[in-house]
Homo-oligomer: A and B are copies of this chain.
Amino acid sequence: MDFEQADALNQAIRLLSLRHRARAATLLAPLGLHPGQEALLLELARTGPAIQSQLSEALGCEPPSVTLMTRKLEAGGYIRREPAPSDRRASIVELTDSGKALADQVKRLWCALAEETVAGLPAETVAELPGILRTLTGNVDSRRSRRPPEDDAV
């Protein structure tokens, strides 16, 4: 691959990151959320209570990031942290009622953002997109377990 193509790709990924995140920030701001926090709320809404290391794994970010995110969401009253009975090192994190309500609002925003994002693309491309993006992600994922491709493309 020559530099022109490589740069077109890398730059496109970088810019998409910046813009998608910025757009998410704009949409989430009225809810009092910063981008990244919504992922934690959605994960809890999806799977129920979890300990922080599970969240770290699910969100794809490091434990210190989870520490800070949970602290801020807890301060906002959206989540609750209580010690795990079976492991005194761990904290169980769960949504409060307020957090559940907020997660529902986030879900609606999330649909709007996704629709806005793929506007103008053929439905076929839209359907393939998550799988393609996950393939790209897996290709550069330096933390992935060594189990091979796993073919989770759509």
Residues of A with Cβ closer than 8 Å to B? 1-3, 5-24, 26, 39, 42, 60-61, 107, 110-111, 113-121, 125-126, 129-130, 132-137, 139-142, 149, 154
Contact = CB atoms under 8 A, between A and B. Distances in A.
B134 A116 contact: no
26 contacts: A1-B111, A3-B107, A3-B111, A5-B114, A6-B110, A7-B42, A7-B114, A9-B129, A10-B20, A12-B129, A12-B130, A12-B137, A13-B16, A13-B20, A14-B21, A19-B60, A19-B137, A19-B140, A19-B142, A20-B137, A22-B140, A23-B140, A113-B140, A116-B139, A118-B139, A121-B136
A12 B134 contact: yes
Give the number of copies in the complex. Answer: 2
Q: Which 9 A-B pairs have the closest CB atoms?
A: A6-B114, A17-B17, A12-B133, A23-B140, A8-B130, A6-B111, A16-B137, A9-B114, A12-B130
Given A9-B117, A9-B130, A15 B111 contact: no
Contacts of A23: 140-142
A103 B95 CA distance: 47
Nearest to A22: B142
A130 B6 CA distance: 9
A119 to B, nearest CB: 5
A130 B84 CA distance: 46
Nearest to A8: B130
A22 B21 CA distance: 16
A1 B115 contact: yes
